[in-house]
Amino acid sequence: MKSGIPLKSVRTAVNKALARMPVVDIHTHLFDPAMGNLLLWGIDELITYHYLVAEVFRARPDMEYKSFFNLSKPRQADLVWDELFVRRSPVSEACRGVLTVLQALGLNSNAKSLAGLRRYFSGQTAQGYVDKVFKLAGVSRVYMTNDPLDPAERKVWERGFERDPRFRGVLRLDGVLMAWPQGCERLQAMGYGVDSSLSGQTMAEIRRFLREWCRRLEAGYMAVSLPPSFRYPDVTSSLTSLLIKAVLPVAKELDLPVAMMIGVKKLVNPVLGLAGDSVGKADIENLERLANDFRGNRFLVTCLARENMHELCVAARKFKNITPFGCWWFLNTPSLIREITAMRLELLGLSFIPQHSDARVLDQLIYKWNHSRAVIGGVLADKYEDLVRTGRRVTEADITRDLKLLFDGGRLR
C-alpha cells in the first residue's frame, strides 16, 4: 500500500496536483473560434473588459460617461491603461488579472503605452491563440453562453460550422424568460407560434424552441440569470411560469441540468451598459421549494450575494438535485473565493463545482484560473493537512481523484 504524504509536504503535493489538473470551465462568454468575431481576444478587449470600465470611472469621476463610450475601442483601452495601470498601481483583482496574463505570455506590464503589446497580438491567429491560452490556463473544455435570440449569433448557428469539441454549447434563456413578452416578437420572427398571453399553445411552442435549440447547440445545459426578487411559487410571474411550464419539463425530457444564477440587479446604472449591473440578496427558500417540487430536475446554482452563499450550501445539503457552482462576478476575488470554498468543503465535502471563469475575453482564462487555482489549492491543502493530523493517510492518488470530482465537470453529466 502506498504510504501517505507527510504533513509538511501536503501543501506542495496539492498545489502540484492542482497545477496539473485540466479543468472544465462550466460558465464563460467565449465562443468557438469557428464563430469568427464573436470570440473576443487580445489586448484591447482585455483592457476594455467591463470590470475595468467600471473601475476607470472610479479613477476619473470627473469624466463624462459619454465621452468614454464615444471613443473607439483602442482609444478606450489607451485611456484605461493610462489611468489604471500607469498613473496608479493596478491592485484591484480585475487589474491584477491583466498583469497575470501579460506575465504568462512573457509580455511587459510596465510599458507606458499599449503599442508593443498590440504588436504581439497582431502576430497571433485565433486558432493558434486558443491552443496557447488553453494550455497556459490548464483548461480542457469551456462552456459557452449561447443566445439564439441574438441575430448575429443565430446567423452563425443557422449557417453551421465545424465545432471545436473544446467549446460546448449552453442555451441561455434570459432573452426568452426575462421581461416577457419582450422575447415574444423575436420568437415569432423565428417561426414559433407564440403570443404574449402565455397560453397552452405559447408554452408548447416555447418548449419546441427549447428542444430544437438545445439539439442544435448540443447544449450541455440551459441557463438563466435571475433577479434577487425571484419567487417560486408565483402565479403572477411570467418568469416563474415559463420556468416551470417550459424550461423544467424540457430539461427533464432531455436530461439536462438548468443553471440558475441568482441575485443580479440589471442596469442599476444604465449608462454603464454591461458594467451597470448590481447585486441583491435573494430568498433561497424559493429555490428550496423549487428543488422540492421538481425532484426530477438537476439545478446548478450560484448566487451573486455573499450573504446567500451559506444558505445555498445548506439548501444543497437538503436537496441532492442542487449543485452549487462558482464564485460569480463580484464574488470572484481571492478573499471571497477563500471563504466560500472553505465553507463549501466543510458543508458539502466534494459535491460542488468550485469555480467557473466567466471569461468574456479568451485571454482571461489564464488569470481567472491561475488566481482561482492558487486560492482553492490553499484551502484544499488546509483540509488535507487537517486529515493528516487525525492520522488519516492521504496519497497523491487520493488528491488526484478528489480534484477530478471537483474540476472535471462530471456533475453536468
Give the footprint of ligand RAT on this chain (CB under 6 A): 29, 225, 274, 329, 358, 360
Residue pair 27/353 in contact (Cβ under 8 Å)? The answer is no
Residue nearer to ligand RAT on the CB measure, 54 or 190: 54
Indicate whether 358 belongs to the interface with Zn ion (CB under 5 A).
yes
The CB-of-371 to ligand RAT minimum distance in angstroms stands at: 15
Residue 205 touches which member of Zn ion, ligand RAT, none, C-beta under 5-8 Å by kind: none
- Indicate the burial class of 168 (C-beta count within 10 angstroms; 0-12, 13-18, 19 or more): buried
> Which residues sit opposite 139 in a β-bridge?
23
Among 226, 216, 203, CA closest to 171: 216
Residue nearer to Zn ion on the CB measure, 29 or 411: 29
Cis peptide before 181 (omega within 30 of 0): yes
Residue pair 110/102 in contact (Cβ under 8 Å)? The answer is no
- From the list 167-175, 177-185, 239-247, 355-363, the region that binds Zn ion by CB under 5 A is 355-363
The CB-of-254 to ligand RAT minimum distance in angstroms stands at: 21
Dihedral (CA of 18, 23, 29, 30) sign = positive
Indicate whether 277 belongs to the interface with Zn ion (CB under 5 A).
no
Cell numbers linked to 315: 439548501
Kindly write down the DSSP assignment for every residue of 234-257, as one continuous string. -TT-HHHHHIIIIIHHHHHHHT--
Residue 225 touches which member of ligand RAT, Zn ion, none, C-beta under 5-8 Å by kind: ligand RAT
Residue pair 365/134 in contact (Cβ under 8 Å)? The answer is yes
Residue 341 touches which member of ligand RAT, Zn ion, none, C-beta under 5-8 Å by kind: none
The CB-of-368 to Zn ion minimum distance in angstroms stands at: 12
The CB-of-360 to Zn ion minimum distance in angstroms stands at: 8
The CB-of-258 to Zn ion minimum distance in angstroms stands at: 15
The CB-of-142 to Zn ion minimum distance in angstroms stands at: 12
Residue 360 touches which member of Zn ion, ligand RAT, none, C-beta under 5-8 Å by kind: ligand RAT
Residue nearer to Zn ion on the CB measure, 79 or 223: 223
Q: 222: left (phi > 0), else alpha (psi -120 to 50), else beta? A: beta
Distance CA 400, CA 14 (A): 9
The CB-of-276 to Zn ion minimum distance in angstroms stands at: 15
Residue 329 touches which member of ligand RAT, Zn ion, none, C-beta under 5-8 Å by kind: ligand RAT
Residue 189 touches which member of Zn ion, ligand RAT, none, C-beta under 5-8 Å by kind: none
**Residues 6 or more apart whose Cβ sits within 8 Å of residue 183:** 149, 175, 176, 177
Residue nearer to ligand RAT on the CB measure, 26 or 139: 26
Count interface residues toward Zn ion (CB under 5 A): 1
Binding region for Zn ion (CB under 5 A):
358
